[in-house]
Structure formats: structure tokens, C-alpha cells
């Protein structure tokens, strides 16, 4: 039974979609005027995990995410750089997809753009004016009248609302109430504009999500999500205008992810302290960044700390090594389960049988990814113990069926969080050079990795440990692979945990 924390009620609630198994989910997207930073990445990784878990649980999710492609910031940047605003937004939209694909974010089913929805927005604003929820000013702006919606601010909480409203008082003299917000803005010279019943102008920001979600998901839908900073004013205003227009609740569950902090402050563009997502992925790998984000619950605050990203990378390496060791054992040892299972076999079997339930139980608790990951790490430990027991000198015999099942479950559930194990390639010439530097020639035409491993094994047999270790270091340096000395062979761990890519994409961590 899935329970989710609803910002609107401030309670954990049992998840009951309007028309199961279908789930409509709207996540507010980016304003396409700049590159994506780590704070955005957190939000989209969190909602990607939420969607994947819903799908894993048997729901059919329809995921909609908008692009705000008309906005003050877009106009300002386009004017400053002397670019056409359409070219600017097309550029940053493509950037968004490129970076999100790398991070393993599943594509939404619809990506509506604000500029495609202007007629629908005008229709909605017209309806709100007709119903007395909005008013037109002499300059041709249209404002939503918050006094006509008694529940206004419920999402943000009354105390927060009052505080926010006070800080926003300096505003247009044409507003009836300082909290009233623009649905339509009269055109200023040099700005993109559309014709409307109130003269030429452009839509306010909030109205786009109301128009798009209603068009693609209906008047009421299941999940409305976004970053914590969207609760007020954006989601508060969306809710007011949608509910006044339709007379129905806009969304059943309002989900918000926490901030990423840098040096104690929320990471945002206006503070100028953001790390671009691309920088972070180049530095640490996309999978490590994804793991770093998922190791914290989506509603908790998260401090961007390089040592934590390194820890996440090490955790992923450990998971990959567990799968890799198991595959090595299965490739080299005969399948000969002992008549009665050993203690570590029993433990592994028990863990494999209960893993999906443990994972689901954690994720069903408001998408508790850190608890779900903890269950997977614990299981990986049991894989290591079992592999150790069957590859040692007094092996009781390998139960290949058991080990295959145990690693299969691990990989399947890692897949629900968007990770996939993949065999990494290496630069053969770099390895050849690294070996040469240590004084080892690898014959032309031979596979230098096989050659290195064969050589290390024979040097160890001759008890020439110092020379054997120089080979291990050369392999590590040139390929990044960890050398493993087993009683039956010397191998390397070539598996990497990567982010799951859309089909056809070149994958790398």
C-alpha cells in the first residue's frame, strides 16, 4: 500500500488515484533560458524515481512536463545577447534533453510549450473574468482576484502566505489586493505579444500550467509535483485559477522535493552559486550524481558536497562488483549445489526471496529511496559472502541457480531506480603503454588485458609479488579495472553501474 506525503494536507495519505490503474502526473518544467543546474537535476531525478516506482507497482503513468518558453528572463537574455528568443529557447530545450538523457530520466509523455498554449490560456483567463475571479486593469493587464477564492494559500500554509504577501506588497497600483497575480500582461515595446480580448500582450507564468494540465490530464488529475520553491506562489496560484475555473480540485496529491544547498543556501540561479549539471556529471559521472541524489529522501534538504558524491560513486562500484563477482563465479565454477544448503546459501536465498518486498515496502513509504537502497546494499553484502564461500578452497559447491536469481533480483530492482550494469570498454593501447612502462612487453596482436592477467597470475605463482603488483597497478591506471585473484583465475571487474539510457544512446558513466 503506497502512502505519499501530500503538501496540501501536510499528511501521509494512502495513494488512491482517480481512475486506477491510470495515474496522471504533472511536473513543472524549466524555463528554457539557461543551462540546467544540479538543483533541477535533483527535482527531475526524484520525480523520475517516483514515476518508475509507480510503474513498477503496476500503474500506467501519463507524465506531463512543460517548458516555459516565454517569460521575462527569456526576453531579457535574448535582448541582452541580441538573439531571437525562439532560437534561445530552442537551444536550451535541446540542452535540457541532452543532459536529462545522460542522467537517465525517462522522457515524459508530453512536453507542452507555453507558446503552443496561448489560445487555451486566453480562453481560461476569459472564463475567470466572466466568473468574477479576475479583473482587467486600465492598462490591459488581467489579474486574478485572490479574495474570490477563500482557500487561497492553503497549499503554502497561512503563516507562510502572510509573510510572503508582505514581502510582495511593492506592486502595481492597479491591483486590488497585493496578493493578486497577473494572468495576462499587456505588451511592452519590443516584447513578444499575442492578440487577446484585452489588447496585445502575453500570458502570466502561472496560467500556462493550469491550461496545459487541464488539456492533457483533465480538470482533476492525480499528482502535481515540483520543487519546494514552487509551492508559493506558483502552485498556490495554479490551484486558485484552475479550481475557480473548473469548480473541481486540480490535483489529488501535491508532492514537492527539497532543495539542494550549497554553502548553506538554496541552490538557484539568482544566488549565482549553482554548479551546472554538465560540470557535475563530467566530474563525477551521471550515475554517481543520480545515486547521490537518491541516497537522500526527496523531501529532505540535501547539501551538495563532493565527498558525498564520491561516496555515492563508491557505493555504485560496490554494487557493480557484487554482480561482477557473481558472474565470474558462475562463469568459472561448475553448478554443483551441495545436498543441503550452507548457512550463507540459506541467507542469500532468504534475502533474494524477500528483496522485492523489502524494496517495495521502502518505496511505498513516500518513495523512501534511501531505505530502498539500504535493502539493496544489504543484499549485495550477502552476494559477496556467498561468492566468498563458494570460491574459497573449501567450497561446498556453487548453486548457480541461487546466485543467478540473487543477482537478477538486485539488477532488476536497481533498474527501478534507473541504474543498469554494463560492461565497460578500455583503451588497449593505453594498457600496452602502461605495461611497457613497467617493463612488460605484450606481443603485438595479443589482447593486452588477457596478457596482463595471465602474466600477473604466473608471477604470483612464482611468488614474484612485487612484479605482479606492478601489473595490477598498471591495469588499474590504464583501464580503471580492479584486478581480482581467484583460486581458479585472475580476472578484472569490468562492470559499471550506469544510468539507464533511452534506447540507442551511447552509454557511459
* 28 touches Zn ion (CB under 5 A): yes
Q: Where are the beta strands (DSSP E) in 299-445?
A: 302-303, 419-423
CB nearer to Zn ion: pick between 233 and 448:
233
217 binds Zn ion (CB under 5 A): no
Region near Zn ion per CB under 5 A, out of 4-12, 24-32, 313-321, 471-479: 24-32
Binding mask 162-201 toward Zn ion (x if CB under 5 A, else -) reads ----------------------------------------
Q: How far is the CB of 216 from Zn ion (least distance, A)?
A: 13
Site for Zn ion in 30-69 (CB under 5 A): none
Give DSSP secondary structure letters for 354-377: HHHHHHHHHHHBTS-HHHHHHHHH
Alpha-carbon distance of 47 to 160, in angstroms, equals 25
Question: Helix H segments across 233-305?
Answer: 236-246, 277-284, 286-294
CB of 208 to Zn ion, least distance (A): 7
CA distance 498 to 128: 48
Q: Does 209 bind Zn ion (CB under 5 A)?
A: yes
* Rounded least distance, CB 232 to Zn ion, Å: 12
Which cell is 112 given?
Answer: 507542452
Which of 336, 337, 290 shows the shortest CA–CA distance to 313? 290
Tell the smallest beta-carbon distance from residue 213 to Zn ion (Å). Answer: 8
- The Cβ-side half-sphere exposure at 214, using a 13 Å CA radius, reads 23
Contact 239, 214 (CB under 8 A): no
413 binds Zn ion (CB under 5 A): no
- Give me the 333-372 binding string for Zn ion, x by CB under 5 A, dash otherwise: ----------------------------------------
Span near Zn ion by CB under 5 A; candidates 154-162, 209-217, 240-248, 283-291: 209-217
Q: Is 429:444 a contact under the CB 8 Å cutoff?
A: no
28/223 with CB nearer Zn ion? 28
Q: How near is the Cβ of 278 to Zn ion at its closest, in Å?
A: 25
Rounded CA separation 186/141 (Å): 5
Helix and strand numbers, DSSP H then E, in the chain: 16, 17
Q: Which residues have C-beta within 8 Å of that of residue 443, sequence separation ≥ 6? A: 451
Residue with smaller CB distance to Zn ion, 75 or 230: 230
CB of 237 to Zn ion, least distance (A): 9
Judged on CB neighbours under 10 Å (0-12, 13-18, 19+), 282 is exposed
Within 106-125, the residues that bind Zn ion by CB under 5 A are none
CA pair distance 442, 218, nearest whole angstrom: 66
Mark the segment that binds Zn ion (CB under 5 A) among 26-34, 158-166, 192-200, 267-275.
26-34
Identify which of residues 43 and 479 has a Cβ nearer to Zn ion in the complex: 43
Joined grid coordinates for residue 200: 496585445
Task: Identify which of residues 42 and 382 has a Cβ nearer to Zn ion in the complex.
Answer: 42
Written as one string, the DSSP assignment of 102-120 is HTTPPPPSB--BGGGGHHH
Q: Which is nearer to Zn ion, 28 or 431 (CB)?
A: 28
Closer residue to Zn ion (CB): 254 or 440: 254
- For the bound state, the minimum distance from the C-beta of residue 103 to Zn ion, rounded and expressed in Å, comes to 21
Does 471 bind Zn ion (CB under 5 A)? Our answer is no
| Residues contacting Zn ion: total by CB under 5 A | 2
With CB under 5 A as the contact rule, which of the stretches 2-10, 21-29, 285-293, 299-307 interacts with Zn ion?
A: 21-29
Span from 23-31, 262-270, 304-312, 472-480 in contact with Zn ion (CB under 5 A): 23-31
Is residue 207 part of the contact set for Zn ion (CB under 5 A)? no
The minimum distance between CB 126 and Zn ion, in angstroms, equals 20
Determine, following the binding rule CB under 5 A, whether residue 262 of this chain makes contact with Zn ion: no
Task: Determine the interface stretch with Zn ion among 39-47, 202-210, 303-311, 360-368 (rule: CB under 5 A).
Answer: 202-210
Q: Which is nearer to Zn ion, 28 or 250 (CB)?
A: 28
Measured in whole angstroms, the distance separating CA 291 from the mean position of its chain's CA atoms is 9
> Does 239 interact with Zn ion (rule: CB under 5 A)?
no
| Three-class secondary structure of residue 452 per DSSP | helix
> Is residue 61 classed as helix, strand or coil in its secondary structure?
strand
Whole-Å CA distances, 335 to 101, 330, 389: 40, 8, 14
| Count of positions (residues) in the chain | 509
Which residue number, 71 or 180, has a Cβ lying nearer to Zn ion? 71
Contacts with Zn ion by CB under 5 A lie at 28, 209
Amino acid at each position: 500500500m503506497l502512502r505519499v506525503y501530500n503538501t496540501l494536507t501536510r499528511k501521509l495519505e494512502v495513494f488512491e488515484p482517480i481512475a486506477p490503474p491510470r495515474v496522471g502526473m504533472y511536473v513543472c518544467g524549466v524555463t528554457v533560458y539557461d543551462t540546467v543546474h544540479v538543483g533541477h537535476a535533483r527535482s527531475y531525478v526524484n520525480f523520475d524515481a517516483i514515476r518508475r516506482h509507480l510503474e513498477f507497482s503496476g500503474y500506467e503513468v501519463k507524465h506531463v512536463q512543460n517548458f516555459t518558453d516565454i517569460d521575462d528572463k527569456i526576453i531579457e537574455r535574448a535582448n541582452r545577447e541580441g538573439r531571437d528568443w525562439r532560437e534561445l529557447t530552442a537551444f536550451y530545450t535541446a540542452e535540457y534533453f541532452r543532459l536529462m538523457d545522460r542522467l537517465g530520466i525517462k522522457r515524459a509523455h508530453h512536453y507542452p510549450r507555453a507558446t503552443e498554449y496561448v489560445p487555451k490560456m486566453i480562453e481560461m483567463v476569459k472564463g475567470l473574468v466572466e466568473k468574477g475571479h479576475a479583473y482587467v486593469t486600465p492598462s490591459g493587464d488581467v489579474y486574478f482576484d485572490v479574495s474570490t477564492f477563500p482557500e487561497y494559500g492553503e497549499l503554502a500554509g497561512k503563516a507562510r502566505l502572510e509573510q510572503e504577501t508582505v514581502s510582495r506588497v511593492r506592486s502595481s497600483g492597479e491591483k486590488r489586493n497585493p496578493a493578486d497575480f497577473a494572468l495576462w500582461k499587456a505588451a511592452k515595446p519590443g516584447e513578444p505579444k499575442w492578440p487577446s480580448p484585452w489588447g496585445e500582450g502575453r500570458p502570466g507564468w502561472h496560467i500556462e500550467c493550469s491550461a496545459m494540465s487541464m488539456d492533457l490530464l483533465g480538470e482533476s488529475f492525480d499528482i502535481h509535483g515540483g520543487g519546494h520553491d514552487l509551492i508559493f506562489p506558483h502552485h498556490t496560484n495554479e490551484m486558485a485559477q484552475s479550481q475557480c475555473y473548473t469548480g473541481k480540485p486540480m490535483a489529488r496529491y501535491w508532492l514537492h522535493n527539497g532543495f539542494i544547498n550549497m554553502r548553506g543556501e538554496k541552490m538557484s540561479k539568482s544566488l549565482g552559486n549553482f554548479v551546472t549539471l554538465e560540470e557535475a556529471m563530467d566530474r563525477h559521472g551521471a550515475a554517481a550524481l543520480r545515486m547521490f541524489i537518491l541516497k537522500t529522501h526527496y523531501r529532505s534538504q540535501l547539501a551538495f558536497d563532493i565527498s558525498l558524491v564520491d561516496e555515492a560513486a563508491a557505493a555504485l562500484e560496490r554494487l557493480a562488483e557484487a554482480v561482477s563477482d557473481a558472474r565470474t563465479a558462475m562463469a568459472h565454477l561448475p553448478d554443483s549445489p551441495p545436498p543441503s544448503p550452507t548457512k550463507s546459501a540459506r541467507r542469500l536465498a532468504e534475502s533474494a526471496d524477500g528483496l522485492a518486498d523489502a524494496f517495495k515496502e521502502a518505496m511505498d513509504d513516500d518513495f523512501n529511496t534511501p531505505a530502498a537502497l539500504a535493502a539493496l546494499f544489504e543484499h549485495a553484502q550477502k552476494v559477496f559472502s556467498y561468492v566468498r564461500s563458494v570460491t574459497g578452497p573449501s567450497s561446498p559447491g556453487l548453486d548457480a541457480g541461487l546466485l543467478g536469481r540473487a543477482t537478477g533480483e538486485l539488477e532488476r530492482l536497481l533498474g527501478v531506480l534507473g541504474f543498469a550494469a554494463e560492461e565497460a570498454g578500455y583503451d588497449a593501447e593505453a594498457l600496452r603503454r602502461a605495461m611497457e612502462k613497467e617493463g612488460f612487453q605484450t606481443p603485438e596482436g595479443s589482447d593486452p588485458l588477457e596478457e596482463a592477467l595471465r602474466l600477473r597470475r604466473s608471477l604470483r605463482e612464482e611468488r614474484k609479488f612485487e612484479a605482479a603488483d606492478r601489473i595490477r597497478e598498471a591495469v588499474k591506471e590504464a583501464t580503471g579495472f580492479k584486478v581480482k585473484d581467484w583460486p581458479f583465475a585472475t580476472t578484472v571487474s569490468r562492470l559499471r553501474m550506469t544510468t539507464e539510457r533511452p534506447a540507442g544512446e551511447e552509454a557511459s558513466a
